[in-house]
A and B are shown apart, each in its own frame.
Chain A
Amino acid sequence: MEISYRDMITVLHGMGFGVLFMLAFSGAIGVIYATAVVGPHWPRSKWDNAMFRFYLISMAALAWLATISGAYIIYPWYRAVPPAGTADLSTYPRALLLSNPHTAGWHDVGMEWKEHIAWFTPIAMTMVAYVFIKYGPRLALHRQMRNAVLGFTAVAFFSTAVAGLFGAFLNKYAPVRGGPDIVLMREN
């Protein structure tokens, strides 16, 4: 059982950083909302508050890792230009998609949107983590600030969902492959 180096980095980008970040969303929304329902005495202890600060900082870190790995490691492989006369475009995903009018839209709309919208997530989540760390339970006293934090968290979720969805489809039609093969398991 083998996987190419580029496949493995793409899996780490999407399934490692991206999916883990998506899974963390419901927890973030729940705890921020809880400060509104329970009031300024939630979280009840300094330990709970510290844990949620760590949770939000981890989410922001995952967002930065997913976005930077996507833009600066995987995207250059995706957009590599094939030498003139190359017939097999399987290791040039962008060129492969654009070579067929039935798949060109996956680049023109999918990748063009994904490469930009993904960046809203780390900006939004860094702000959300900062505001929660700065105000903590006091967020309950500032309804409009809490609404802004929830709104930006929702936009971060939407941005990640768009980037993740198109990432999955793009990898289906034109996977980023290449580099040395990595043996995961030897079969007899």
Chain B
Amino acid sequence: MSVEQQPTGSGAAAILAAGMGSLALGVFAFAGDAVPALGRAFTFWQPTGALSGVTITAIAVWLISWFVLSRRWASRDVRLGPVNAAAFAMLAAALLLTFPPVMDALQGK
């Protein structure tokens, strides 16, 4: 197969957006648990409760950020070091925010 260089922008946009979507999920999950009014607002579908709004909103953030970043970066070469660092920092924060003992500790429970 012939192989030629391709700008890194599309890949960088997908990687950073995945980090942003993950962080949105962590933040919304934590906020919905910590603030009862937000938990009720996130209840888009009663049988699944706040999880419905948390996941649908996080996926919307992920897809919109991916779309916007792709439009900006598609034809450019983007430095991947800072993109990776930001994406993994957001992913790590998201993992911590969804871990119930951390959620409880941050709320002083």
Identify A116's interface contact among B5, B11, B25, CB under 8 A.
Answer: B25
The interface residues of chain B, by DSSP majority, are classed as helix
A143's nearest neighbour on chain B, judged by CB, is B80
12 A-B residue pairs with Cβ-Cβ distance under 8 Å, sorted by A, are: A46-B1, A79-B49, A109-B100, A112-B100, A116-B29, A119-B25, A123-B18, A142-B8, A148-B15, A148-B83, A151-B84, A152-B15
Question: Which residues of A does B touch, CB under 8 Å?
Answer: 40-41, 43-46, 49, 71-72, 75-76, 79-80, 108-109, 112-113, 115-117, 119-120, 123-124, 126-127, 130-131, 134-138, 140-142, 144-145, 147-149, 151-152, 155
B101 within 8 A of A: yes
Considering only residues 74-109 of chain B, those with a C-beta below 8 Å from chain A are: 80-81, 83-84, 87-88, 91, 94-95, 98-101, 103
Contact present for A123 and B22 (CB under 8 Å):
yes
Say how far B88's CB is from chain A's closest CB, in angstroms: 6
State the Cβ distance, A57 to closest chain B Cβ, in Å: 14
Q: What's the nearest-Cβ distance from chain B to residue A68, in Å? A: 9
Name the residue among A116, A136, A142 with the largest chain B CB count within 10 angstroms.
Answer: A116
Inter-chain contacts of A123 with B (CB < 8 A) = 18, 21-22, 25, 59, 62
Question: Given the complex of chains A and B, what is the CA–CA distance between A145 and B12 in angstroms?
Answer: 7
Contact A131 B14 (CB under 8 A): yes
Q: Which residues of A contact B59 (CB under 8 A)?
A: 123
Q: How many residues on chain B are close to A (CB under 8 Å)?
A: 43
Q: How far is the CA of A127 from the CA of B18 in the complex (A)?
A: 7
Question: How far apart are A170's CB and chain B's nearest CB, in angstroms?
Answer: 14
Q: Which B1-15 residues have a C-beta within 8 angstroms of A? A: 1, 3-6, 8, 10-12, 14-15
Contacts of B81 in A (CB 8 A): 144
Additional A-B contact list (15), CB under 8 Å, known A134-B10, A142-B11, A148-B83: A117-B99, A123-B22, A127-B14, A127-B17, A131-B15, A134-B6, A134-B11, A135-B6, A137-B3, A138-B5, A142-B80, A144-B81, A144-B84, A148-B88, A152-B91
Q: How near does chain A come to B7, taking the closest CB pair, in angstroms?
A: 10
* Least CB separation from A111: chain B residue: B100
Among residues of B, the one whose C-beta sits closest to the C-beta of A67 is B55
- How far, in whole Å, are A144 and B98 apart by their CA atoms in the complex? 27
Report which residue of A44, A120, A123, A131 has the largest number of chain B beta carbons within 10 angstroms of its beta carbon: A123
